[in-house]
Structure 1
Amino acid sequence: MRYSDDLIEEIRLKNDIIDVIGGYVQLKRKGSSYFGLCPFHNEKTPSFSVSPSKQMYYCFGCGAGGNVFTFLMEYENFTFPEAVKSLAERAGVKLPDLEYSKEEKRKADQRSRLLQINKEAAKYYYVLLRDHKGCQGLEYLKKRGLSDETIQRFGLGYSDKFGGGLYKFLKQRGYPDEDLRESGLFNSDERHGMYDKFWNRVIFPIMDVNNKVIGFGGRVMGDGKPKYLNSPETKIFDKSRNLYGLNAARLSRKKNLIICEGYMDVISMHQAGFNHAVASLGTALTSPQASLLKRYTDEVLIIYDSDEAGTKAALRAIPLLKEVGLSTKVVNLKPHKDPDEFIKSEGSKAFEARLEKAENSFLFEVRMAERDYDMNDPQGKTDFLHYVAGRLLNFEDEIERNNYIESVARVYHIELATLSKLVGKLALKGAGIIKTKKPKSGIHSDREKESGTDKAQKLMLTWITSYPDIMEQITDYISPDDFTTDLYHKVAVMIFEQYHEGEINPARLLSRFDDSDETRKVTALFNAVIPLNSDAEKMQALSDVICNMKEHSINYRSSRLDPTDMQGLQEVMRDKKALEQWKENGIRLHISFD
């Protein structure tokens, strides 16, 4: 399933990347590019660049990069077709109906049917809540203080006490058992056949960011077990990659988002006017959920239950949120257990005040760690301060580290000079450092060490895309076959094709990569800086890269050459002789790098 390359290129050309990204990020012109604070990781100095000439963006801090389609995919969590559709609408381009392969059509049809089943189920539960059969569920919600408007806004419903109502309802609408089984809404066994998974429960529809029902949560009426039951994983529902309430919270335009534990916490906060609250779906916060939050905010307030379990959940969540570049704070609800209880007892203004007084997450972690030490014992306090000093070493920015040292010294009544000296002493010893991953974008991939050969091939691609006019002479020395690293070979083939077609266009090339990690790596090729000033320096560097690449290419082909391949052997011998001449006499390049 894919639109034609020509149509994709038309849409890209009609959506200037400066205009599109400028709607999300404040950009300022600096030379030939625009710069702003990266929307994919937390930073104080702008390292996010957008090039109008290349129609590409790249962050020199976290490595996020791509073209206008990639930006929407990363920022809005769109699929590629969704990004194409959004930008087509923005540019007034009419999209044709897509042609599916047989397998793509089967998967798309199945997904469509499952979404339709969930939509019908949500309607069924919603209507039943208002029927005499749902009076117990409606009474429960009213006792929890929910208004009719809130119940309607979240589409809350009820599943009756008998386990066959929804199954019968959907069968009457013609849905086959195979699809109903795939929906996750039913159980089956030999004795009972297929029957409703949810019964005698208040139902909470779970929606994705596009307001499509992808699953359900159910709270049992009475003392049944489990108290809360969620839909299983299905073709349309991955609980580790979705958040309850995000479809509404992402539109709140608040300066942060609130992450809490349960459905009722989210609903009660939204009803009280705090419509930027979301919750994980019956599990601890996951890395994909943290990345999803990063799409819509730079700061997250953590509001978990004030008991020991809630404290542990907060301590697990903080590093996950920091890893994707989110600033985090922890809200103290004591003496109340959760947001719902707090708001009912003290009201919205008092809750707003607690949000404003949210504790810095690092200081929260330090305060929780304090419980493991006997602060009345000199040795216990010494051990604690050494632990804190070790944690302070994690702040690479000197100004940030000094600010935290000052805060810790003030909170724990320690001489600032003494704590600073301890941190410095540990830094010299390399002791007490807790290694953490640097914040990255929502795209996670460890940067591997590059060999000299990889660097040469990468640099050659940077030269070509930075100075397209050099291709006329480069083709006398280098071909795509000289790029032996898989990804770089793939890119080189595309660039040489573009050259022979009359135009090197890196932004168009990016649209042909489906893998987000590959896209990030390829974008880095096109945005690397060549730190040379004079044409003579650039000419020498380019000549060195050509020789380096050719030498490796010869060795690479020789090691894989079939002894009976006389033509291949002749080509290798010819290239060896040419390389010797290049090294002896120099490569004759007449290039202007303007």
Structure 2
Amino acid sequence: MYYPDEVIEEVRSSNNIVDIIGGYVRLQKKGSSYFGLCPFHNEKSPSFSVSPNKQMYYCFGCGAGGNVFTFIMEYENQTFPEAVKILADRAGIALPEAELTEEQKRERNKRQLLLEINKTAANYFYYQLNGDQGQQAREYLENRRLSKETQIHFGLGYASKYSNDLYLYLKKKGYQDQILKETGLLTYDEKRGAHDKFWNRVMFPIMDVNNRVIGFGGRVMGDGMPKYLNSPETMLFDKSRNLYGLNYARTSRKPYMIICEGYMDVIAMHQAGFTNAVASLGTAFTAQHSVLLKRYTQEVRLAYDSDGAGQKAALRAIPILKSAGINVRVIHMDPYKDPDEFIKNLGTEAFQERIDAAESSFMFEISVLEKNYKQSDPEGRASFMKAMARRLLEFPQELERNIYIDAIAGRYGIASEELKRMVNSFGASMSREQVEAAIYQQQEREEMPAKKRVEKEDSVLTAQKFFLTWLIEEPSIYDKTKDYINEDDFVEPLYHHVAALVFEELRATGQVMPARILNQFEDVEEQKTAASLFNTRLKTDDDPAVREKALNETVKRIKKNSLELKSRSVREIADLQKIIKEKAQLQKLYISL
């Protein structure tokens, strides 16, 4: 951590979470908590809960959750140290100098220096665009109908025709070659020495979600190659983990993101009001991209080029997005190639209509599949029908499969019953393994990620969540259960870590402050998972007998799972006999409330 634990806790406890979140979200009190519409996903019924007792928030709709630091980090696009500083300033708390190891200091200093150099370079490129040398670049941007406001918004610039202009400028600023070599802005060789990687190009600063310049893209002026050039991989820039325009798109509050192919498409769409557009950075869409997007949306509309290459890119992206649990639809832009061209010719209203009419990813895949078969030839059409029938077997649910059968039958002018019989015939002729493989493939692509699905359905993890939430709500439960269950019975690493912190606080004070425990997790995704452990809905009855039964079933389920896992790894007979004895005692266990 950048600050001592006691300082972080002082800052957290000095900022009431209801007051902080109430400044962003309209909250209404219901019982002991406050509810409002979740700011992290679109919803019509409030499922976003803020607890003054726990000093936490949790959305029962999308799973977003955490303490006051998490909220500022997520809503304001801030890092953890930045969130601490914002809240410390608000509470009038003076922060000490960050306590870092020497290695951490070197790493932080290098990262900060690289960010500083990138910002300096971005300012220099912007200056060049608006100076005497930038005339051609300005004309190019004007011909692309980009307003001055848009150019400023995206920080567009120009790298001059001289191949060492930026290098000389950075050297005059006092930066040494040793650090400049790590920026990706320069190339070093024995013959030419140091020279600029980008020259005679319109420059596009690439920003992370915190609006910091981490790299650049450049579009050549004239016929030089490559047409577009990106920064190489650096300490700051990983093109497979960053999306152009996400720093703006993540705050658009639209219920979906639009993925384009390049910088100009994103910029043109943002200028037209479609501020939820992003693009991958000179690379194919990756699983890391889908994980990044999943933090901000549940649905994506693909706006790739309408040519063959664009269709192939869409076909590659669809299964990646679906395997991340993201719903996918495809925007058709014919007769134009890309969103920029479409909007220039038909306008924003027409493009919005295309967005609204976006096709389901499965129907898009079928339409692309169709192009592989000659429909005018009976044999070709029959082969196409067979291929479609096999694809339809990917849907494990009969109702959903029948919906798509009807849709395809309507599109291609065939009888639904005939297509259904063909699908069933293929299903019957396939081996059980083949059918299961097809179903598994579809589930992996269209449902939530496997780990999340298992977690949702795992009764043991549910019991552990239930028990931890119960301990928070009623700390007196600890004294009644401490002889039977402890943190070692929580095997999954994150659950174990949280449980250890909970039991530690209960042993020390008899109380638990969940928000304080969340301070131990700087990673936002870990905070969300930890927050869910304290916000499981307790469906306990007021009847003491029902509550006792629920508690005993919960404790037994957790302990039984723990003992079974231990029994798989023991090697000594004595240890195994001990576990068998504990299992027998577990059957007789009954805890009274």
Q: What range describes the TM-score normalised by the shorter chain of this pair? A: 0.7 to 0.9
**Greater CA deviation, 550-559 or 427-436?**
550-559
Report 1:112-127 matches (<5 A). 112-127=112-127
| Matched positions, count | 579
Q: Which residue of 2 aligns with 1:512?
A: 520
Give 1:312 shift: 0.6
Equivalence map 1:121-270=2 (5 Å): 121-270=121-270
Partners of 1:326 and 1:405 in 2: CA distance: 23
Given that residues 205 and 213 in structure 2 are in contact (C-alpha distance below 8 angstroms), is that contact kept between their aligned partners in structure 1?
A: yes
Residue deviations 1:116-150, cap 9 Å, x none? 21111112222222333333323333333334343
Cα deviation code 1:25-46 (max 9, x no counterpart): 9999799896988957x99999
Match of 1:471 in 2: 478
Q: Equivalents in 2 of 1:521, 1:322: separation in Å?
A: 22
Distance in 2 separating the partners of 1:69 and 1:105: 23
Take 2:87 and 2:548, find their aligned partners in 1: how far apart are those partners? Answer: 43
Segments of structure 1 that go 5 or more residues without pairing to the other structure are: 562-568
Residues 488, 556 of structure 1: alpha-carbon distance in 2 compared, 3 angstrom cutoff: farther
In structure 1, the residue matched to 2:444 is 437
2:310 corresponds in structure 1 to: 310
Using a 3 Å threshold, how does the CA distance of structure 1 residues 49 and 526 change in structure 2: closer, same or farther?
A: same
Q: Distance in 2 between matches of 1:476 and 1:487?
A: 23
* Matched residue SS, 2:104: helix
Deviations 1:85-130 (A, max 9, x none): 56667x6564614413122222222222112211111122222223
- Cα pair distance change 1:408/1:176, threshold 3 Å: same
1:336 aligned onto 2:336: yes
Q: How far, CA to CA, are the matches of 1:293 and 1:343 in structure 2?
A: 25
Contact in 2 for aligned 1:460/1:545 (Cα 8 Å): no
Question: Would the aligned equivalents of 1:17 and 1:67 in 2 still touch at CA under 8 Å?
Answer: no
Q: Residue 168 of structure 1: CA displacement?
A: 1.0
* Cα drift, residue 223 of structure 1: 2.3
Amino acid in the other structure paired with 1:143: N
Distance 1:427 1:134, change over 3 A: same
- Whether 1:538 aligns to 2:538 is no
Matches within 5 A, 1:494-509: 494-499=501-506, 500-509=508-517
Aligned 8 A contact 1:465 1:504 in 2 = yes
CA distance in 2, matches of 1:45, 1:385: 43
Q: Secondary structure at the match of 1:435?
A: helix
2:102 maps to 1:100? no
Shift in CA distance, 474/22, structure 1 to aligned 2, threshold 3 Å: farther
What CA distance in whole angstroms lies between the structure 2 residues aligned with 1:30 and 1:400?
Answer: 40
Give the Cα separation in 2 of the matches to 1:58 and 1:481.
26
Question: Contact between 1:547 and 1:582, CA under 8 Å: does it hold in 2?
Answer: no
- Which residue does the alignment assign to 1:407? 407
Choose 164-173 or 419-428, whichever is displaced more.
419-428
State the alpha-carbon separation in 2 of the partners of residues 450 and 39 from structure 1. 24
**Match of 1:473, as an amino acid?**
K
Moved more, 123-132 or 447-456: 447-456
C-alpha distance in 2, partners of 1:332/1:451? 41
Percent same amino acid among aligned pairs?
Answer: 48
Is the Cα–Cα contact under 8 Å of residues 315 and 365 in structure 1 kept in the other structure?
yes
1: distance between equivalents of 2:45 and 2:195?
A: 57
**CA deviation after TM superposition for structure 1 residue 198, in Å:** 1.0
User: What residue is the counterpart of 1:564 in the other structure?
Assistant: none
Name the SS of the counterpart of 1:247 in structure 2. helix
> In the alignment, residue 242 of structure 2 is paired with which amino acid?
N
Q: Which runs of 5+ in 2 are unaligned?
A: none
State the shift of 1:556 in Å.
Answer: 8.8
Taking only aligned residues, the RMSD between alpha carbons, in angstroms, comes to 4.6
Offset, 1:314: 1.4
CA 1:550–1:218 in structure 2 vs 1: closer, same or farther (change >3 Å)? closer
CA distance, structure 2, for counterparts of residue 357 and residue 443 of structure 1: 30
Following superposition, the deviation at residue 229 of structure 1 comes to 1.0
How far apart are the structure 1 equivalents of 2:533 and 2:454?
14
Q: 1:493 aligns with which of 496, 500, 519?
A: 500
Q: State the match for 1:590 in structure 2.
A: 592
The structure-2 alpha-carbon separation of the partners of 1:186 and 1:349, relative to structure 1 and needing over 3 Å to count, comes to same
Residue identity in the other structure for 1:510: L
One-letter code of the match for 1:239? K
